[in-house]
Homo-oligomer: A and B are copies of this chain.
């Protein structure tokens, strides 16, 4: 069909109403935008001959017209609805409002995406004092008919006419107390008839006009109520939160009623076409005999399984549908096979059985566990239903996280003692410690530990590394703790505001409980929950389906996937997960460990270039070995080494004890050390003396690092007999100007050329693009930089003028008000940050067509951001080691999407 813009929402020639009836339909599944998800799928099922109660859908275009014309409906909408209603009466052999053979309908809202906040369903529309009698004779049950009538008035009165729900409930309660009964169903048909009268009187009193008895008036009221529910406060907030447009409008589906509660040959049920938890190819669902849809959900009666096999597995009392109504079951099995084949996906369906006849009321893609998603996708390919591309597109890339990390064993039991923001996935269990040093001590003696802090700083990194998981009471999902933990693949929970860490006493207090060092706790970084004691964990299995999907992904994707890693362990994890290089090795992490921080302190305290060089020389040797090890692990894959980035004060001690230690090590007076600490203090460290600015001030740091890099390359090359030529990309951080880059790059190149002049090794020198100015001046910077790597963490901070460390204080307010539909630190903000990226890609390519482009911010592991990178034509994404599989799949999906868009646009 044409896009809606082309068809034009104009009065006169416009089609507003789309009918469906078994075997024929004016709409189809592709028309979700104008028929809503439900309406489009009802049309599709009718079209392919499935038993769907007939009906019609008023398009969302009518709704848009309605809002664009101050609540006036399109003129010819009335005619079209009347026509469709006549056709519906004919198809059903029933007439609206008829005293003997009445047509009753349901009216439902439906937008292009599932959306809470809009009008609920109105059932049994068409009932009045005449047609209720027809319903009674149809059902051969007067009580049933009048109870339906009462419910209809209540529902219609509430959602369409705006009469307070509680007023009806008061009358109902009154009736029960008058009768001396407790349950609705104990009311007799006589009482119900009186209740209908008092309900109608209530409505008339409230609205000063009678309850509409004309089915047509009822119908128009319901349609308008659905339209207006599009702008209900709840729906608006939901749209704002999800970034959905207010302009979409809602469709209205009017469908003939079928009843699952007219006797023992009736029933209703819901089913998944496969097992949504394991993905096994077996019919999975529940049903209830003689019941309505809401009874299955309400849980008053226990639903029974569909198949005999399940019933036996579960040991359920009562027969399965397969045994109870074998013919209906047979029909349902047919529907199942047809739907899967037709939609090419596992479906979640609703059905009703009226007098031994099966009706489908809804179908949609079924939600499933990550593991099931893999199995189903692979099985569908095996069964020849879908292609590999389709299989990959079916899987939520992020859900792979569920498979990659340990999870709580569902069979276990636990007591939750705190709840915070899930900041890095995976479950972990260990002894509680309050300091990084203790974490390291205990871990080195073989204990598993969980590090709990108010917040973490770079000084805690060694302890975070030693721990199984990290918990902080402050900070947000992009705080230091969260970022570092995700990078390391450690479980992490942040912002547990109801926990109190008392570092002085060494106590963790929560909910009246006091824990001390050594107490065992368990944490789930995926849910944000902290548990007391040890909970059993299930560790991941990465063979089988997972492996298959990864292989397929690699076959489709064009972008390379690299990892952000600086330790041998992380690099190995990343290689095991299939990374094709390291996109970000943060060398400063290497300056914190053990003796090195002492050398750093001596460097910082030195007032002469020579003194600094001497201190740096100590680090140089160690760093050379670090790089050697990394080059060995990478076996010829590219290794992107970012030169020293943080401000110097990050290396300085905060506590008196540490300051005294620094005095001792640097051989300076306490006053000198304190003065230097004060001197290096910054108002806004994020915007301060760091990155290439620091390198410009202290070129001896560049020299040290460049020598370490190039000597390591030399050694690895010579040591391996040239078999795995080390491949290195030297990256300069925080560049905002061509001159800065050149100033640093010339030192790197001088040393590179010196150290490796006789070897056949090459290297590139490039830059991070992490400041708006770098993006805006990319055409100048691209003249000298051989690659760009988007540092989207900092780029997001500067573009928004928003410190991720400080944003937690008001992000809650923003989310509540719907002002921040997605976390820009998680998913690239396309309009702002993304636009700068586009400018940079364009500028860089203009001056250097073969410039290598990548991303190394956290966004490199986010599927939606990866799609953006594919759109921009980046060469690679780089993410934390545990995100590599997610990125491999997401890169394949992005590629498939891009190619499909190309195809449709041709």
Within 8 A of B (CB), among A541-580: none
Within 8 A of B (CB), among A715-753: 734, 736-737, 739-740, 743
Contact with B along A768-794 (1 / 0, CB 8 A): 001111001100100000000000001
Q: In the complex, are the beta carbons of B739 and A688 less than 8 A apart?
A: no
Which B residues touch A680, using CB under 8 A?
Answer: 809
A608 adjacent to chain B (CB < 8 Å): no
How far, in Å, is A561 (CB) from chain B's closest CB?
A: 28
Using A684-B685, A805-B684 as known contacts, say yes or no to A696 and B817 having CB atoms under 8 A apart. yes
Within 8 A of B (CB), among A756-775: 770-773
Using A776-B831, A819-B696 as known contacts, say yes or no to A805 and B683 having CB atoms under 8 A apart. yes
Which B residues touch A818, using CB under 8 A?
Answer: 739
Q: In the complex, are the beta carbons of B801 and A831 less than 8 A apart?
A: no
How far, in Å, is A504 (CB) from chain B's closest CB?
A: 14
Using A683-B806, A685-B683 as known contacts, say yes or no to A819 and B736 having CB atoms under 8 A apart. no
Bin chain A's interface residue count: 35 or more
How far, in Å, is A575 (CB) from chain B's closest CB?
A: 33
Using A819-B743, A831-B777 as known contacts, say yes or no to A803 and B772 having CB atoms under 8 A apart. no
Q: In the complex, are the beta carbons of B772 and A799 less than 8 A apart?
A: yes
Using A772-B772, A776-B836, A819-B737 as known contacts, say yes or no to A689 and B799 having CB atoms under 8 A apart. no
Using A693-B810, A696-B813, A810-B694 as known contacts, say yes or no to A739 and B240 having CB atoms under 8 A apart. yes
A182 adjacent to chain B (CB < 8 Å): no
Using A799-B798, A805-B683, A813-B697 as known contacts, say yes or no to A836 and B743 having CB atoms under 8 A apart. no
Within 8 A of B (CB), among A676-695: 680, 682-689, 693-694
Which B residues touch A71, using CB under 8 A?
Answer: none
Complex Cα spacing A640 to B737, Å: 35
Using A810-B697, A835-B776 as known contacts, say yes or no to A802 and B736 having CB atoms under 8 A apart. yes
Which B residues touch A688, using CB under 8 A?
Answer: 803, 806-807, 809
Q: In the complex, are the beta carbons of A799 and B771 less than 8 A apart?
A: yes
Complex Cα spacing A685 to B829, Å: 22
Complex Cα spacing A829 to B794, Å: 21
User: Interface centre among A685, A687, A694, by most B CB within 10 Å?
Assistant: A687
| Copies of this chain per assembly | 2
A414 adjacent to chain B (CB < 8 Å): no
Which B residues touch A687, using CB under 8 A?
Answer: 684, 686-687, 797, 800-803, 806
A318 adjacent to chain B (CB < 8 Å): no
A611 adjacent to chain B (CB < 8 Å): no
Complex Cα spacing A693 to B803, Å: 12
Residue in B closest to A797 when the chains form the complex, CB atoms: B687
Within 8 A of B (CB), among A310-327: none
Complex Cα spacing A302 to B797, Å: 64
Q: In the complex, are the beta carbons of B798 and A772 less than 8 A apart?
A: yes
How far, in Å, is A811 (CB) from chain B's closest CB?
A: 9
A814 adjacent to chain B (CB < 8 Å): yes
Cβ 8 A contact of A771, one of B773, B800, B803? B800
Which B residues touch A776, using CB under 8 A?
Answer: 799, 831-832, 835-836
Which B residues touch A743, using CB under 8 A?
Answer: 817, 819
Cβ 8 A contact of A739, one of B685, B770, B801, B819? B819
Contact with B along A172-209 (1 / 0, CB 8 A): 00000000000000000000000000000000000000
Within 8 A of B (CB), among A699-714: none
Q: In the complex, are the beta carbons of B689 and A686 less than 8 A apart?
A: no
How far, in Å, is A672 (CB) from chain B's closest CB?
A: 15
How far, in Å, is A95 (CB) from chain B's closest CB?
A: 50
Complex Cα spacing A819 to B693, Å: 10
Residue in B closest to A679 when the chains form the complex, CB atoms: B809
Cβ 8 A contact of A773, one of B696, B697, B799? B799
Complex Cα spacing A699 to B727, Å: 55
How far, in Å, is A534 (CB) from chain B's closest CB?
A: 34
Q: In the complex, are the beta carbons of A832 and B798 less than 8 A apart?
A: no
Residue in B closest to A694 when the chains form the complex, CB atoms: B810
Q: In the complex, are the beta carbons of A801 and B801 less than 8 A apart?
A: no
How far, in Å, is A420 (CB) from chain B's closest CB?
A: 17
Residue in B closest to A454 when the chains form the complex, CB atoms: B678
Complex Cα spacing A817 to B695, Å: 13
Which B residues touch A809, using CB under 8 A?
Answer: 680, 682, 688-689, 697
Which B residues touch A817, using CB under 8 A?
Answer: 696, 739, 743
How far, in Å, is A870 (CB) from chain B's closest CB?
A: 22
How far, in Å, is A674 (CB) from chain B's closest CB?
A: 15
How far, in Å, is A519 (CB) from chain B's closest CB?
A: 26
Which B residues touch A814, using CB under 8 A?
Answer: 693, 696
Complex Cα spacing A803 to B689, Å: 9
Which B residues touch A686, using CB under 8 A?
Answer: 683-684, 687, 801, 803
Complex Cα spacing A736 to B832, Å: 9
Which B residues touch A689, using CB under 8 A?
Answer: 806, 809-810
Complex Cα spacing A794 to B743, Å: 27
Which B residues touch A739, using CB under 8 A?
Answer: 240, 817-819
How far, in Å, is A776 (CB) from chain B's closest CB?
A: 5
User: Interface centre among A685, A772, A797, by most B CB within 10 Å?
Assistant: A772
Which B residues touch A685, using CB under 8 A?
Answer: 683-684, 806
Q: In the complex, are the beta carbons of B773 and A806 less than 8 A apart?
A: no
Residue in B closest to A834 when the chains form the complex, CB atoms: B776
How far, in Å, is A904 (CB) from chain B's closest CB?
A: 27
Which B residues touch A773, using CB under 8 A?
Answer: 799-801, 829, 831-833
How far, in Å, is A744 (CB) from chain B's closest CB?
A: 10
Which B residues touch A694, using CB under 8 A?
Answer: 810
Cβ 8 A contact of A819, one of B683, B740, B771, B797? B740
How far, in Å, is A134 (CB) from chain B's closest CB?
A: 52
Residue in B closest to A831 when the chains form the complex, CB atoms: B777
Complex Cα spacing A646 to B160, Å: 48
Residue in B closest to A833 when the chains form the complex, CB atoms: B773
Complex Cα spacing A169 to B814, Å: 77
Which B residues touch A801, using CB under 8 A?
Answer: 686-687, 734, 736, 770-773, 794, 798
Q: In the complex, are the beta carbons of A800 and B831 less than 8 A apart?
A: no
Which B residues touch A831, using CB under 8 A?
Answer: 773, 776-777, 780
Which B residues touch A736, using CB under 8 A?
Answer: 800-802, 832
Within 8 A of B (CB), among A584-598: none
Within 8 A of B (CB), among A438-478: none
Complex Cα spacing A686 to B776, Å: 22
Complex Cα spacing A373 to B688, Å: 41
Residue in B closest to A479 when the chains form the complex, CB atoms: B683
Contact with B along A831-843 (1 / 0, CB 8 A): 1110110000000
How far, in Å, is A867 (CB) from chain B's closest CB?
A: 20
Residue in B closest to A739 when the chains form the complex, CB atoms: B819
How far, in Å, is A184 (CB) from chain B's closest CB?
A: 43
Q: Give 8 A-B contacts (CB < 8 Å), ordered by A residue.
A: A687-B797, A687-B801, A736-B801, A739-B819, A772-B832, A776-B836, A777-B832, A780-B831
Q: With A682-B809, A686-B687, A734-B801 given, can you name 14 additional A-B contacts, CB distance below 8 Å?
A: A682-B805, A684-B686, A684-B803, A684-B805, A687-B800, A687-B806, A736-B801, A739-B817, A739-B819, A772-B799, A773-B800, A773-B801, A773-B832, A798-B799
Shortest 6 CB-CB distances between A and B: which pairs? A687-B803, A684-B803, A773-B832, A688-B806, A683-B805, A771-B801
